[in-house]
A and B are shown apart, each in its own frame.
Chain A
């Protein structure tokens, strides 16, 4: 089997080969970028959150009457709701917060060390107003200092102490102890391990907390619960009824575990990656149809030539290999063009969405996938071509 002859056969049908090369190049470009996007989404979904995603439940809710949204009625409602959900069998701890964790955006503001405002100012850090069991619910570790033992009542003249996550404490105090230092929200009481707060933050692990009731619930609030692993589903099932029994004038936006919430935060990326994956599968199918049709048609057209080769001693395997090799060569050339196209597509996509740049090993992987698909598609027509009898050579005479 000569490489020169393979090229000659391939380029004897210029239009068909050009069309096939273009398809293969585009299929590779799309396949490559789809994998990149899927990979990025996968990384986002599997990045550490510092949370027990499966066994932490969150309820997003809001009092439906204005009178229930102001203190002291609100405090009474929060206490009754917490008491009721804590009584559900399987609940380890429950807490309220002005907003949930693992969300796109929410309540927050700038945060800085008051001694060095210019240098340390972080423009946006989520601010959580939570009940004291919030830390037990999230199962975070206290790294420095001590957590407040009681909830500062709403309207108390004393400013509540501040709890920072490790990442923001390091950002503000550059490795020095944070406890006892003053930030614009108050005195730092403790530093806890990181957890995923809001996606819109510069760093999703930047969070500040105060153990005090929510300042306002005009945008709703959250009740978070940590459950026994075997009881999560049962607790979830009871939550809506329990909360409505406590107070019917509430709107329950949603009840979910944090794994679902995590998925929701990246739902757009997930949706786009899924769409591209489906499109890539279709693209590969179309390419396979094309390869199949091309090989089948040309094997039929070259029956006499194959017959002569068989009469001159070529084995069935040689004939099949020859047809397959033609397609492999075409795929290799298509993949080569496809790399350039993939680079172009990657840059064009990066203008409108977040997509990582190409790396060195992905083109090899995608070329291998393309080669496999083309081989599968041409296998059947190649095997049919091997059935051509040497006697058919006589028709050429």
Chain B
């Protein structure tokens, strides 16, 4: 330990002798690592798996059952009510839920100013499929229409000032609903159950409403919707249920490969039956996409973060080369001292231990600098690319990664100069 403290003191003395080159090295490494780490944070969070234990068991079925000849012949990314009915007629999935999101206005009574809210209009299996935690109450007993809602914790607090509000009434648009459940803290990020059009980057909804009620009350989808026939989209409760009004996401849980294969076969049989009935003029194209692959399938991965990731990696490399360059100059300036130590009997391993003490000090300074730069860079990125701002938080894994990378970079930057100082020709070095 004493020896280690001695090495640290020698390192600090060396820094004091030429503080500017050392400060520049730390500055450059901190900036490079900070910028890289800021972008790595977004990249990591955006590509993280919100349900690692079941993301390969949840599937989004899509089918090209549309009443016209296709152009690109890809199945629509959103489904019609009638297609969902057909796809959910199978008992193969362990769970299944159709859903869409809508806008609404909530308040406790008509005299209050309305609060804009987002709605997830869905079915009961949604909560078990996506591991939605309930703090109070329960979900609907079946998928029928009913004037009952579940609230997010934040919405319950906003409307009622408390979270145990089971049995309370709220006015959603022009209709009273009973609260039957309140969610616990829950933020699924990325929100992969609604990945179309980069919706997975946005926060979760405030109020959960039964799908049939949403259709009965003509709640329109707040995201992508398309009509492939003459269906009047304002008549969702009637024409919307039978026509080619597409606006639903639909998820099924298929736990085993056998279930997945069986459901694929079911979809094929369904498409063939529709074709035989003359309701399906396009070629058959069914897709069953796992939740883990849904963003890639839709091609909605944010390109800006990927592009910036490439550039920040390049920048980190430049900073590493630069810091190595500065470090080499610093070691060459101190070469005489190294050589003298070698001449007085210090072994190469002792010199390498000295180098490790240098690395530790450099890593400590760099880590602080990188955290500060990374924080500033994240704030800047949130300002300039606000769509990704939900993905800007650090966690333990990320911080430990930064620590490891910082230490590795500090070691790399110091490695070549110290080897050169330790292994060069002693006579030559003492003469220089």
Contacts and interface: CB of A to CB of B under 8 A. Distances in A.
B319 interface: yes
Given A66-B174, A249-B114, A268-B387, A26 B307 contact: no
A29 B314 contact: yes
A5 interface: no
Interface in B353-389: 380-381, 383-387
A279 B36 CA distance: 11
A271 B385 contact: yes
B317 interface: yes
Contacts of A289: 24, 27-28, 322, 326
A353 B114 contact: no
Which among B24, B308, B321 has the highest number of chain A CB atoms within 10 Å? Answer: B321
Given A66-B173, A282-B31, A215 B234 contact: yes
Contact of B318 (A65, A275, A286): A286
B186 interface: no
Interface in B104-163: 105, 113-114, 116
A352 interface: yes
B303 interface: yes
Contact of A272 (B105, B307, B328): B307
Nearest to A341: B314
Given A23-B322, A249-B114, A275 B381 contact: yes
B304 A349 contact: no
A272 B385 contact: yes
A237 B303 CA distance: 37
B33 interface: no
A219 B329 contact: no
A353 B328 contact: no
A251 B318 contact: no
Contacts of A345: 310-311, 314
B116 A251 contact: yes
B266 interface: no
A294 B332 CA distance: 12
Contacts of B227: 109
A234 B161 CA distance: 39
B304 A297 contact: no
A290 B307 contact: no
A290 B322 contact: yes
Interface size class of A (residues with CB under 8 A): 35 or more
Interface stretch (A13-21, A93-101, A133-141): A13-21
Interface in A275-296: 275-276, 278-279, 282-283, 286-287, 289-290, 293-294
Contacts of B310: 345, 348-349, 352
A30 B174 contact: no
A302 B92 CA distance: 81
B319 A276 contact: no
Nearest to A273: B384
A216 B245 CA distance: 15
Nearest to B107: A64
Contact of A30 (B233, B303, B311, B386): B311
B21 interface: yes
B24 A293 contact: yes
A123 interface: yes
A246 interface: no
Nearest to B308: A275
Contacts of B103: 62, 218-219
Contacts of A215: 234
A251 B105 contact: yes
Contact of A65 (B114, B116, B218): B114
Nearest to A294: B325
Contact of A19 (B28, B321, B332, B387): B321
B206 to A, nearest CB: 14
A27 interface: yes
Contacts of B381: 271, 275
Given A66-B173, A272-B385, A289-B28, A30 B304 contact: no
Contacts of B315: 26, 30, 279, 282-283
A30 B315 CA distance: 8
A336 interface: no
B325 A19 contact: yes
B326 A293 contact: yes
A67 interface: yes
B333 interface: yes
B47 to A, nearest CB: 13
A262 to B, nearest CB: 17
Which among A249, A282, A286 has the highest number of chain B CB atoms within 10 Å? Answer: A286
Contacts of B222: 219
B416 interface: yes
B298 to A, nearest CB: 15
Contacts of A282: 31, 35, 315
B325 A16 contact: yes
Contact of A294 (B233, B312, B317, B329): B329
B103 to A, nearest CB: 8
A274 interface: yes
A275 B314 contact: no
A310 B322 CA distance: 32
Given A19-B325, A251-B116, A278-B380, A123 B71 contact: yes
B234 A26 contact: no
Contacts of B218: 218
A22 interface: yes
Contacts of B301: 352
A275 B380 contact: yes
Given A251-B114, A286-B31, A293-B24, A15 B328 contact: yes
B303 A352 contact: yes
A30 B328 contact: no
Which among B32, B303, B317 has the highest number of chain A CB atoms within 10 Å? Answer: B303
Contacts of A274: 384
B223 to A, nearest CB: 10
Given A65-B105, A279-B312, A19 B333 contact: no
Interface in A137-155: none
A353 B328 CA distance: 38
Contacts of B71: 123
Interface string B1-45: 000000000000000000001001001100110010000000000
B317 A26 contact: yes
22 contacts: A19-B322, A22-B317, A64-B114, A65-B114, A65-B173, A66-B174, A218-B220, A219-B220, A248-B113, A271-B385, A272-B304, A274-B384, A275-B308, A275-B381, A275-B384, A289-B24, A289-B27, A289-B28, A289-B322, A297-B332, A352-B306, A353-B306
Per CB-CB distance, the 3 closest pairs between chain A and chain B, nearest first, are A271-B384, A352-B303, A218-B220
Interface of A: 15-16, 19-20, 22-23, 26-27, 29-30, 33, 62, 64-67, 109, 123, 215-216, 218-219, 248-249, 251, 267-268, 270-272, 274-276, 278-279, 282-283, 286-287, 289-290, 293-294, 297, 301, 345, 348-349, 352-353
Given A272-B307, A279-B312, A293-B24, 7 more contacts: A22-B321, A278-B380, A283-B318, A286-B32, A290-B326, A301-B332, A345-B310
